[in-house]
Amino acid sequence: MIELRDIHKSFNSHYVLRGVNLKVEKGESLVVIGGSGSGKSVLLKHIIGLLAPDKGAVFVNSTELSLLDEEGLKEIRRKFGMLFQSSALFDSMTVWENVGFGLKRHTHMPDREIKEVAVEKLKMVGLVGVEDEMPSALSGGMRKRVGLARAIAMKPEILLYDEPTTGLDPIMADAINDLIIKMREELNVTSVTITHDMKSAYKIADTIAMLYNGVIVATGTSVEIQNSADPVVRQFIEGRAEGPIKIEGRNR
Amino acid sequence: MLIKFIEFIGAVIEKPLLGLGRIMLLLGSTLKGIVRPPFEVRNIVTQMLQIGVNSLPVVLVTAVFTGMVLALQSYTGFKRFGAEGLVGSVVALSMTRELGPVLTALIVTGRAGAAMAAELGTMRVTEQIDALETLATNPVKYLVAPRFLSGMIMLPALTAVTDIIGILGGYFVTVLLLGSSSKTYLRATWDYLEIQDIYSGLVKACFFGSAFALISCYKGFYTSGGAEGVGRATTGAVVYSSMTILISDYFLSVWLFK
């Protein structure tokens, strides 16, 4: 369903991705793990065409994104829903207007119906009675869930999660994990999640891929990754400061 | 030596040229966003209110006091050679040709331009602009085009108000405070003011309105680096817009009044 072929990307002189190859099958839940600043977000942004690779190609349903014009890219993006790390809710709009944004722009539904759909999606993510609030009045966990409701409002085939549990308390983080699993079961979506939260990764992933030094260094099921002998993977999943992965800015 | 020199020149002009190129590309997609349906009516109306109506009080105060001080100063000067009857024309010509468009543009830049840069900058750093794209919405069309169009339309409208209020301010000082005759002031205004003066002032305003909106949106749209970046974008928006207004004013004057 999604394929990344030899993706290279650099910003100014900073080389972030150095030939990433990745495949996601329909209905699969892929989790990409990697340290902060390893280029996970950059990778995710390539999948939905927010960034274009310097070299290599991204395919979604066998369509190469870089060959699409603006309209074509728009069309492809309607297959996607994305949950941002900071939720990225529009702070000038109420919660239901946020959730119904896609419907308002891409359908001819009247506002009343859009609001009904928004309330229903909010209920799906466990939020009731907040539709008329402004996003600034909500807690971090609630904002994440509103962001998720917005991402699923247009019935996407693919959901992208950018560090869905970062910045949340452990209970809320687990609630978000449950929601990610629920979305997959109920909506039958393909999902790509990037995270450095290993607990979350083990829980939601069919496949885990590790990004290190701009390339995918390991791919496998949760169990395979947990039993991996690769020292880089071991250091990361065990969360040790000492090992082959050096901490940026630290004197050695 | 020569190569070093050329490298130096290149390094100096690379960044401004890059910025100029990007701003022109933004202008291109903005214009495309304005003329292509669907039209962002709701956003355009909101922006027109933001720029036009909300700027009105501060524009009015600026206009009336500018007209007043202009009348006061020229009256004092003109009296020395007995030409105080011409105060009306000085106020009218200065306001319509020069002060009306330029002062209004500077005031609105400080208000609406800074707000545009801060708002778009915040939307950029909190990923709201990316979110728009993932919701299959072109952010330039949705955010920049309405602001650009509103600037282009509302600045001439505000300038027209400034012109009238400035002339009234001049009237107030000359006639009511300094005791000149009302008839003389009004005749001096009417006799020397040509439609060309008003029209060229409004053309300037239209250009200034487009320029400040484009520059402010550009600064906001390409913000990076968190809260500090938003601050930099806002400052940059006001500084570059004001400079553009003041510098282009000279060249527009040369062109319009040749």
**A49-95: per-residue pLDDT in tens?**
888 888 888 888 888 888 888 888 888 888 888 999 888 999 989 99
Residue contact A102–B136, C-beta within 8 A:
yes
- Type of residue at A137: A
Mean pLDDT across A163-189? 86
Q: Does residue A251 surpass a pLDDT of 50?
A: no
Contact with chain B for residue A84, Cβ under 8 A: yes
| ipTM of predicted assembly, 2 dp | 0.86
Residue contact B134–A101, C-beta within 8 A:
no
**Cα dihedral sign for A59, A60, A64, A70?**
negative
User: How far apart are the C-alpha atoms of B131 and A45, rounded to whole Å?
Assistant: 11
Question: pLDDT (tens digit, 9 = 90+) per residue, B67-120?
Answer: 999 989 888 888 888 887 888 888 888 889 899 999 999 999 999 999 999 999
Say how far residue A17 (Cα) sits from the centre of its chain. Answer: 17
* Half-sphere exposure in the Cβ direction for B74 (13 Å, CA): 24
Residues 22-51 of A with CB under 8 A from B: 45, 48, 50
* Residues found in chain B: 258
DSSP B175: I
Q: Mutate which of B42, B127, B132, B142 to test chain A, going by most A C-beta atoms within 10 A?
A: B127
What are the chain A neighbours of B138 within 8 Å (beta carbons)?
70, 74
Per DSSP bridges, beta strands A2-11 and A14-24 are antiparallel
Q: Does residue A97 surpass a pLDDT of 70?
A: yes
Contact with chain B for residue A106, Cβ under 8 A: yes
Q: What is the mean pLDDT of chain B?
A: 90
Residue contact A81–B134, C-beta within 8 A:
yes
Per DSSP bridges, beta strands A63-64 and A215-220 are unpaired
Residue contact A74–B134, C-beta within 8 A:
no
Which residue of chain A has the CA closest to B29? A70
Say how far residue B255 (Cα) sits from the centre of its chain. Answer: 18
Q: How far is B105 from chain A (nearest CA, A)?
A: 26
The pLDDT > 90 percentage for chain A reads 12
pLDDT at A65: 84
Question: pLDDT (tens digit, 9 = 90+) per residue, A210-234?
Answer: 888 888 888 888 888 888 888 888 8
Cβ atoms A237, A202 nearer than 8 A: no
Output the pTM of the full model: 0.86
> Phi/psi at B237 (nearest 5 deg)?
-60, -45
- Torsion angle of the four alpha carbons A143, A47, B120, A112, in this order, in degrees rounded to the nearest 10: -50
The CA-atom distances, in angstroms, between B214 and each of A49, A127, A166, B58 are: 25, 40, 36, 22
Mean pLDDT across B38-59? 88
Token pair recorded at residue B80: 């020395």
A213: left (phi over 0), alpha (psi -120 to 50) or beta: left
pLDDT at A249: 58
Which residue of chain A has the CA closest to B131? A88
Residue contact A82–B134, C-beta within 8 A:
yes
Diameter over CA atoms, chain A: 62
Say how far residue B61 (Cα) sits from the centre of its chain. Answer: 16
Show the 3-state SS of B228-247: HHHHHHHHHHHHHHHHHHHH
- Identify the band that residue B152 occupies on the pLDDT scale cut at 50, 70 and 90: very high
pLDDT at A252: 39
Contact with chain A for residue B130, Cβ under 8 A: yes
Nearest to B131 among A70, A88, A106 (CB): A88
pLDDT at A40: 85
User: How far apart are the C-alpha atoms of B229 and A244, rounded to whole Å?
Assistant: 35
Token pair recorded at residue B39: 């039209």
